[in-house]
Structure 1
Amino acid sequence: MLATEQCSRSSIMLVTDDSPWAFSVMQGLTDLQAPWGVGVFGVTNTEHNANMTRENLSQAIATARQLLDVSWTRVLSWLPFTDPETRPLQVASWTTDQNLSLVYPSNLFPKKFLRFPHRPHVMVTAEEYPPQSAVMVDDPTVPGSKRLTFTGAAGYIMEVLSTAMNFTYTYLRAPDKSWGVLKSDGTWSGMLGLITREQVEFTPGPMLLDFTRSQWMEYSAYISVGGYHVLAARGRPEVDPCKDN
């Protein structure tokens, strides 16, 4: 008597042509028993060139085999600010007995932003806020031989972060040299505009916590906490007429 048995290491790769009706194959994917995943590859069908169609099919099959090989043996992770040509980081692999072997002990998902291995270059923004000041310093390695930097808290924070996390950086100031407000057209001005348009990665601040801003960008843990007070001149002592003498 025959019986069905599910293979714990099976994957299914489907190859179709690129005609609209071919995508109906997607409707039945949920019923396929493939614990290791299902893949669909579309191959361009060149009606007047059988050799080209055969070549496209060969490329699709080769890609499918590469994908299966990678998915069966290695777990890869792309690092932040990595060049597209750079190979991803291997974080784990499957051994012959199907056990997961971690490259980093007890950590399948290593902290990508703890320290960069390849020292990327990022754009950041800052603005003057006493005693934080913008200063142009001599630097023969940049165009014009002058480089923008900041004194005060921003400069110190960037120095510590770039050394600890292993990256270099360049400051970009907003054209209006402001922190930024949400405009009527739904865009931001100032530094916040540079961040939302992804022209820079972040700002060392200081930035006040604000609900509207938090809908558009992400705050880090606070570095310092401060407060504002209203000051007024002291008045002269007066006799309270309502108080008994």
Structure 2
Amino acid sequence: MAGEWNVNVYLLTLSVALAQKNSQGLTPRLDPLLIHLEEEAARVLRELLKGPARDHEVTLLVEDEVLKVFDVERMLKDLPVPARLLLPPSGTIVEELGQDEIPAVTIYDNALRVSVGCILFVKSGVVVALVGSGSSWPLWSPPDWWLPKAVVLVVVSKTCRARDLLQTPLLESTTSVAVLCPSFPTGNPQRPVFRVSTWLPYSADENLLQLGDWDPAAFPAWDDFFYDRFSDFGGKAIHLASDYDDMPLIFETDDGLDGTNIRMMDALASLLNFTYTSTDEAPDAEWGERDENGTWSGMLGELHRGVKDLAINYFTVTTERAEDFDYSVPYYNEGFGLILKIPPPLPRWRSVLYPFTAGVWASVGVAFIVAVFSFHCLAKRRTQTSFAVNVTTIFKGLTTQSLATVPGSWLIRGFLGLWWFMCWILDISYTCNLIAVLTVPVYPTRIETVDSLAFSDLRQVLFYWFLSRDGFFFFFRSVLSFGLLRV
């Protein structure tokens, strides 16, 4: 069971008192309400990790003011999951670290293992925060790259400002959020009850939604606990960054706007209860690119500055854009391919050369020259034959021609025997390959890789097509060289 979760505890507000408390022991707690609140918060935390947050990576944030009052280490030991308590050194300012990492001094887990290292923020998953006043840095100044899947605030204080907590920047930028606020019943104040709330940012009536008192039976799964906050936009106007010259996704007709993206926006507006506005182009008539200062231009610039809410034109997924913008689920895939004309068969008169490759023919030529000079040196001392006769003798082996007389020297006979055996193997291989070549026409080597295309003499013909209002396709052709691929 311990292997189902991975819980990291980050203590984010750093102070000298925190380090002193860690070395001298916890501050005595004299308020009985806080003692019962600690016990109830520990129980809720256990049930939360077993229920809605199960099978999710969880990061537990603890405010410094909570650590001063509650025995957080004991609460973590009671969790049925691995838990680590991170104690940063006192006097360190988180902002000086660039909001990227927090130095770790000691890490405690269920086995009380102590280690030293540096733990990085997790970029996704479920964040469970034990907060008091809710003034900690992660809630108000979260890093841009920190995108948790869900955030749960467990308030361990006598007062709970759920409305303010749910409007902190971290929760406003997170899809699934919930706040558990303690309440102390009049009849039994020693038994605090946690009430679950969430925030509906587009509700026309009341934004704060009470989901009820915490009960593991009432909130057993993810969908039961995390309310869908974006099922109704309450008639809000969504401002689109758009360009009407984007056939067939967005274009103008005599009856108004049309296109695939416009029809999708109409369907979403009807389903989610919102309206939208659009523009024919960006103020600078550009789609958008980022300069060296990180400033975006065009439609993406309007979106990045918050002037617009959504850009719906043809935007491909790039690493640069993904750093500053969130993409929807891809709904259109576009593929590109290369089309080459099938080359004609090679001339049949060259078929006598096709059985062997150029390398094999070169090897045969080298072997023939070596054999001629070697045989001539042997025959010159014993038979006194001319150089022309010796060349003819070696060449007859390649053409499977017999000799009129066999040399009397056994050394020469042995040499010719080895040469004729090699020639016999070559002749059989050549004959078999020649039959195959004559049976099946030989074509030039086809281009199957980008490298072979780059180093070929071919040129590319690009076709661009657009759908007109009358339903016809117009094609434009341009010829480009593949020479740039060689760089």
Identify if the C-alpha distance between structure 1 residues 153 and 204 changes in structure 2 by more than 3 Å, giving closer, same or farther.
same
Confirm or deny that 1:31 pairs with 2:68: yes
Offset at 1:9?
Answer: 4.4
Question: How do 1:1-245 residues align onto structure 2 when only pairs under 5 Å count?
Answer: 6-7=35-36, 8-9=39-40, 29-33=66-70, 39=132, 64=159, 69=183, 72=193, 74-82=195-203, 86-94=206-214, 101-102=218-219, 107-113=224-230, 115-116=231-232, 118-127=234-243, 128-135=245-252, 150-172=257-279, 173-229=281-337, 237=344, 239=346, 244=351
Aligned with 1:155: secondary structure? helix
In the alignment, the residues of structure 2 paired with residue 91 and residue 137 of structure 1 have an alpha-carbon distance, to the nearest angstrom, of 49
In the alignment, the residues of structure 2 paired with residue 152 and residue 106 of structure 1 have an alpha-carbon distance, to the nearest angstrom, of 35
Contact 2:241 2:300 in 1 (8 A): no
Contact 2:250 2:313 in 1 (8 A): no
In the alignment, the residues of structure 2 paired with residue 116 and residue 27 of structure 1 have an alpha-carbon distance, to the nearest angstrom, of 37
Aligned with 2:300: secondary structure? helix
Contact 1:92 1:108 in 2 (8 A): no
Residues 72-104 of structure 1: per-residue CA shift (max 9 Å, x gap): 453211123357x8331222324xxx76745x9
Offset at 1:214?
Answer: 0.7
Offset at 1:216?
Answer: 0.9
Offset at 1:108?
Answer: 0.6
Contact 1:126 1:154 in 2 (8 A): no
Offset at 1:217?
Answer: 0.8
* Structure with bigger RCO (C-alpha 8 Å, 6+ apart): 1
Contact 2:239 2:277 in 1 (8 A): yes
Which residue identity does 1:75 align to in structure 2? V
TM-score (norm 2): 0.33
Identify if the C-alpha distance between structure 1 residues 73 and 117 changes in structure 2 by more than 3 Å, giving closer, same or farther.
farther
Aligned residues: 192
Offset at 1:165?
Answer: 1.7
Higher helix proportion (structure 1 or 2)? 2
Offset at 1:174?
Answer: 1.6
Aligned with 2:238: secondary structure? strand
Identify if the C-alpha distance between structure 1 residues 243 and 120 changes in structure 2 by more than 3 Å, giving closer, same or farther.
farther
Identify if the C-alpha distance between structure 1 residues 105 and 196 changes in structure 2 by more than 3 Å, giving closer, same or farther.
closer
Contact 1:131 1:152 in 2 (8 A): yes
Identify if the C-alpha distance between structure 1 residues 242 and 69 changes in structure 2 by more than 3 Å, giving closer, same or farther.
farther
Which residue identity does 2:259 align to in structure 1? G
In the alignment, the residues of structure 2 paired with residue 171 and residue 112 of structure 1 have an alpha-carbon distance, to the nearest angstrom, of 25
Which residue identity does 2:263 align to in structure 1? Y
TM-score (norm 1): 0.59
Task: Identify unmatched segments of 5+ residues in structure 1.
Answer: 11-25, 42-62, 139-148
Which of these two proteins has the greater Rg computed from alpha carbons? 2
Identity of aligned residues (%): 22
Aligned with 2:213: secondary structure? strand
In the alignment, the residues of structure 1 paired with residue 65 and residue 327 of structure 2 have an alpha-carbon distance, to the nearest angstrom, of 43
For the aligned residue pairs, the C-alpha RMSD in angstroms reads 4.4
In the alignment, the residues of structure 1 paired with residue 133 and residue 209 of structure 2 have an alpha-carbon distance, to the nearest angstrom, of 25
Which residue identity does 2:309 align to in structure 1? E
Residues 102-128 of structure 1: per-residue CA shift (max 9 Å, x gap): 5x9951102223x21623221122222
